Amino acid sequence: MKAAVFHKPGDIRVDTVEDPKIEDSRDVILRVTSTAICGSDLHILSGAVPQASNMIMGHEFMGIVVETGSAITNLRKGDRVVVPFPIACGQCFFCNHQAPTHCENSNYKHYGPNGDMAGEKGGALFGYTDLYGGYSGGQAEYVRVPYADIGPRVVPESLTDSQALFLTDIFPTGWSAIDWAQLKGGEVVAIFGSGPVGLMAQKAAWLKGASRVIAIDPLNYRLEKARQVNNVETLNPNEVDIVDAIRSMTNGRGADVCVDAVGFEPERSVIDKLKATVNFEKGSMKVLDTAFKAVRRSGTVSIVGVYGSTYDNFPLHRMFDKGITIKQGQAPVQIYIDELINLVNERKVILDDIITHVLPLAEAPKGYEIFDKKEDDCVKVVLTP
Ligand code: NAD
Ligand code: ZN
Ligand code: ZN
């Protein structure tokens, strides 16, 4: 089959590779019908999230069941399913505690309690490096889905692939960020990053009762997209001081909730990059730093952007004095997905309005290039195998 294969940083190619096989009675094989490129894939492309050997990319995918393991009774050949990006067994301590991204069984080589940079990680993810389980991803014609008796969800026939695809990751991720902040209604929510995840968090903020949603991004075309599809207010950090602007919009207090949907690879100056090298930091926590300033006292900062190392000058004093609540991590897709499928199916939210590029799988390298370099007003690339 054909698949988008990571070879080394900056080098993702479409190769011919072996078809996946059933390896466990709880597996299914899918013929992938739609798959997307995620901002998280860009951390692998850049080399910041390391991978030593060739690997099939992709954790956002859906498709048709073509083969089932002997223990599978919930799915049949021909079912069209969407698959949560975290791989979880459904039976361990963490799976039983609403924490599927910390599954104790899926990442059997590199799992551990530590959360090290290059050592012990949490549960496995599709197509997300050996440290996260070494599973092949779904940017391919076929993919093996482990624990398929509890992960994949059958997609209602009334939904097209484009309408349903983002239930695999970015909508539940944006939703998690807002759910973690426990909105009561009427909050001002400032969302850093207006890429796919930020745009989904904007949708979730409205659905959960925010009174104002503010999108922050240095790219004006992405802010334009945010205004167009989500009717939010927008701020560009290259044009205004974000902290001053948010405070002046909120009686000097700051936003009730700030969401970091950027992570450790924001736009950086040469000085930022030099500082990171000297301090052995991966990227920068500058977005988070701004979020801690921009959130009001006793507010919440939700972090869904990925962070990959220790960071010096962590503003613990500010977080303590302001009494900030923080919640972060990989999105526990499995615990939200059924509720979110219903929202999409009832047309209470539209997800496919952020897609800017649909390309055949054969053009995956081009998809990576334009998404990474933010060319051609790219917001979200969908690949069709
Ligand atoms: P993306 O790269 O398309 O979006 C990031 C956006 O941040 C871009 O629009 C960029 O212009 C903007 N940005 C850069 N510097 C900024 C700054 N200083 N202030 C505000 N915005 C800035 O990626 P994405 O797909 O939207 O993903 C965003 C982050 O979420 C990534 O770190 C990704 O790895 C992470 N992610 C996490 C989860 C999870 O489960 N927690 C799931 C999916 C993605
Ligand atoms: Zn993703
Ligand atoms: Zn588990």
Q: Output the residue whose Cα is nearest ligand 1's atom 27.
A: 39
> Using CA atoms, how far apart are residues 337 and 296, in angstroms rounded to an integer?
30
Cα of 100 from ligand 3 centre, angstroms: 6
* Same domain, yes or no: 114 and 259: no
* Same domain, yes or no: 180 and 146: no
State the sign of the Cα–Cα–Cα–Cα dihedral 34, 63, 175, 135. Answer: negative
* Same domain, yes or no: 192 and 292: yes
Residues 291, 325 contacting (CB under 8 angstroms): no
Give the total residue count for the chain: 385
Binding-site residues, ligand 1, Cβ < 6 A: 38-40, 42-43, 169-170, 173, 192-198, 216-219, 222, 237, 261-263, 266-267, 287, 304-306, 330-331
Our CA angle for 116, 120, 122, nearest 5°, is 100
* Same domain, yes or no: 149 and 184: no
CATH of the domain at 378: 3.90.180.10
Pocket test for ligand 1, best of 121, 168, 197, 258 (most atoms within 8 A of CB): 197
Closest CA to 62 of 153, 147, 196: 153
Q: How many domains does the chain have?
A: 2
Pocket test for ligand 1, best of 49, 242, 262, 287 (most atoms within 8 A of CB): 262
CATH of the domain at 241: 3.40.50.720
Last residue of a domain, which of 328, 352, 376?
A: 328
> Using CA atoms, how far apart are residues 263 and 122, in angstroms rounded to an integer?
18
Ligand number, closest to the Cα atom of 105 = 3
Cα of 176 from ligand 3 centre, angstroms: 19
* Same domain, yes or no: 162 and 181: no
* Same domain, yes or no: 306 and 365: no
Residues 154, 284 contacting (CB under 8 angstroms): no
* Residues whose CB falls within 8 Å of the CB of residue 186, separated by 6 or more in sequence, listed in order: 209, 210, 211
Instruction: Tell me which H or E stretch contains 212.
Output: strand 212-216
pTM for this prediction? 0.97
Look at residue 379 in the predicted model and tell me its pLDDT.
98
Reading the chain (385 residues) residue by residue, the pLDDT tens digits are 999 999 999 999 999 999 999 999 999 999 999 999 999 999 999 999 999 999 999 999 999 999 999 999 999 999 999 999 999 999 999 999 999 999 999 999 999 999 987 889 999 999 999 999 999 999 999 999 999 999 999 999 999 999 999 999 999 999 999 999 999 999 999 999 999 999 999 999 999 999 999 999 999 999 999 999 999 999 999 999 999 999 999 999 999 999 999 999 888 888 888 888 888 888 889 999 999 999 999 999 999 999 988 887 889 999 999 999 999 999 999 999 999 999 999 999 999 999 999 999 999 999 999 999 999 999 999 999 9
* Same domain, yes or no: 52 and 106: yes
* Same domain, yes or no: 257 and 180: yes
Last residue of a domain, which of 296, 313, 328?
A: 328
Q: How far is CA 312 from the centre of its chain?
A: 25
> Using CA atoms, how far apart are residues 378 and 219, in angstroms rounded to an integer?
11
* Same domain, yes or no: 316 and 343: no
Residues 332, 99 contacting (CB under 8 angstroms): yes
Cα of 17 from ligand 1 centre, angstroms: 30
60 backbone dihedrals φ, ψ, rounded to 5°:
-115, 105
Look at residue 19 in the predicted model and tell me its pLDDT.
98
Last residue of a domain, which of 298, 328, 358?
A: 328
**Domain encompassing residue 240:** 174-328
* Same domain, yes or no: 212 and 295: yes
* Same domain, yes or no: 297 and 374: no
* Same domain, yes or no: 271 and 133: no
